[in-house]
């Protein structure tokens, strides 16, 4: 042990010494601390007396006085039976939660079933009516409804290359599937629909160069 | 000067040894038993009951000072632990976890009966407790008969003083002394039971001992 350690040990407060003795009794001191404390105990009668006091206290605490005698086998069986009873009660409560009373089975179930059929019929009829009113009628067999991508179209701008100085600019527009869309088998069936029934036409009204369609603002009609 | 027996035998005070039966066979660990219970083997829980019932009653009894209340709390603790076993994150820590339930239920029980907080002093010994149990009309089937009257008287006096001193300790210190020093639970399990670190357990034990030393110096 170095001189520094010796001084440090000497400087140990009574409280620290007692804490070390408490841990020493429990066997939880590290090897170094234990050796150090044992040296101290050999040299310090007061420290040794304190250790003895704590030892007697431990014996007193650990003495069996105060513990009742209990027939452990009987007690274990009682606890086990209580666990079984609680388990059964729990299962019963879960089963009850999902069990239907007799009147529900005889009255409510047929009523609910009839109501479900009525609602389903009503919803189905409403859907058919809505389809007829929208003019689409029943979907023709063999021709599926157009996919959303069928609305793809290209806009070509034709017109004078000269720039008018004033007044509204007029351009011609042609609407139809792009060359790319035409090449797609799924869209080619709808090319006629797109050309003949264009839903929107864009007309330029800005003052940007006519060939610069990106810069034009379009009025949607 | 000899260190604690557990240390000389190579056993760490912070850990629990595997249990063995009379033939030397290693019994299933708490973790194994908990896993079996969760898998539907109800009998495995009976093994845990038998393994921990004495410790649970002892801990509760030392916190409550009444064997009937302690047995009631112990039964409640086993029921509670059974119903929430699936929430136990470390099955190997079942013992510490159960003792935490026992401690909490005991302290709640004690708070609930503040009006009769005085310890029933005739209940410190086995046969005394048994007689009392019969008078109270409960749990008498569990009280074993027998005991030396002289030893009983001496122990009763000692037990009374110890219980009084323990009852005056702050809760954590009292629990640490009961679980670690009296019940000799590994420090790791005590830490689980008290929901604190192992270092804190050491400190609570020391502080408790220090106060008990003062209070019991006349009888030591």
Residue range A138-172, pLDDT digits in tens: 544 444 555 544 444 455 555 554 555 555 555 55
Residue for token digits 């529900």? A104
SS3 call for A78 = helix
Contact A37, A20 (CB under 8 A): yes
Residue B68: exposed, middle, or buried by beta-carbon count in 10 A (0-12, 13-18, 19+)? buried
Nearest beta carbon to residue B159 from set A62, A66, A80: A66
For A189-205, write each residue's pLDDT tens digit: 555 555 444 445 555 45
ipTM over 0.90: no
Cα A87 from Cα B78, distance rounded (Å): 12
Higher per-residue pLDDT: B49 or A174: B49
| Residue whose pair of structure tokens reads 């610069």 in the numeric block | A212
Give the E-state strand segments of A56-170 in sequence order.
Answer: 154-158
* Chain B residue numbers touching A82 (CB-CB < 8 A): 75, 78-79
- Across chain A, the runs of DSSP E, i.e. the strands, are 154-158, 172-176, 202-204, 218-220
Q: Is B172 left (phi over 0), alpha (psi -120 to 50) or beta?
A: alpha
H/E element holding B136? helix B126-136
Residue-wise pLDDT for A10-49, tens only, equals: 557 888 999 999 999 999 899 999 999 999 999 999 999 9
pLDDT in tens, B110-165: 887 754 444 443 343 344 343 333 333 333 445 444 556 666 666 677 778 888 89
Q: Which residues on chain A place their C-beta less than 8 Å from a C-beta of chain B?
A: 18-19, 22-28, 34, 38, 41, 51, 53-54, 56-58, 60-72, 74-76, 78-80, 82-84, 86-87, 90
> If you average pLDDT over every residue of chain A, what do you get?
71
Closest approach of B218 to chain A, Cα-based (Å): 11
Q: What is the pTM of this model?
A: 0.59
pLDDT confidence of residue A220:
46
């Amino acid at each position: 042990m170095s001189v520094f350690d010796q001084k440090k040990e000497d400087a140990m407060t009574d409280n620290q010494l007692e804490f070390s003795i408490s841990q020493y009794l429990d066997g939880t001191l590290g090897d170094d601390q234990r050796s150090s404390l044992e040296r101290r105990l050999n040299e310090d009668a007061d420290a040794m007396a304190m250790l003895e006091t704590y030892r007697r206290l431990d014996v007193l605490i650990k003495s069996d006085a105060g513990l009742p005698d209990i027939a452990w086998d009987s007690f274990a069986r009682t606890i086990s039976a209580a666990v079984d009873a609680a388990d059964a009660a729990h299962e019963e409560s879960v089963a009850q939660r999902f069990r239907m009373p007799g009147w529900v089975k005889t009255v409510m179930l047929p009523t609910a079933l009839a109501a479900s059929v009525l609602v389903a019929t009503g919803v189905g009829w409403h859907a058919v009516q809505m389809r007829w009113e929208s003019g689409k009628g029943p979907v023709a067999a063999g021709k599926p409804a157009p996919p959303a991508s069928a609305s793809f179209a290209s806009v070509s701008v034709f017109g004078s290359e000269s720039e008018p100085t004033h007044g509204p600019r007029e351009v011609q527009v042609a609407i139809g599937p792009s060359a790319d869309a035409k090449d797609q088998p799924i869209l080619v069936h709808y090319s006629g629909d797109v050309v003949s029934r264009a839903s929107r036409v864009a007309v330029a009204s800005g003052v940007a160069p006519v060939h610069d369609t990106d810069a034009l603002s379009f009025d949607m009609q | 000067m000899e260190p604690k027996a557990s240390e000389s035998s190579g056993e760490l005070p912070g850990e629990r040894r595997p249990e063995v039966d009379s033939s030397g066979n290693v019994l299933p660990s708490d973790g194994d038993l908990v896993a079996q219970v969760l898998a539907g083997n109800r009998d495995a829980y009976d093994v845990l009951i038998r393994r921990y019932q004495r410790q649970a009653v002892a801990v509760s009894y030392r916190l409550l000072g009444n064997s009937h209340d302690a047995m009631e709390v112990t039964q409640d603790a086993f029921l509670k632990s059974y119903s929430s076993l699936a929430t136990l994150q470390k099955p190997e820590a079942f013992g510490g976890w159960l003792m935490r339930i026992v401690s909490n239920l005991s302290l709640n029980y004690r708070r609930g009966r503040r009006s009769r907080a005085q310890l029933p002093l005739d209940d410190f010994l086995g046969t005394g407790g048994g007689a009392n149990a019969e008078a109270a009309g409960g749990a008498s089937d569990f009280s074993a008969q027998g005991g030396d009257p002289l030893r009983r008287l001496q122990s009763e006096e000692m037990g009374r003083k110890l219980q009084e001193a323990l009852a005056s300790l702050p809760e954590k210190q009292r629990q640490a002394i009961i679980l670690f020093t009296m019940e000799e639970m590994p420090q790791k399990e005590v830490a689980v039971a008290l929901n604190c670190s192992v270092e804190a357990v050491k400190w609570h034990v020391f502080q408790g001992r220090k106060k008990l030393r003062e209070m019991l110096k006349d009888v030591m």
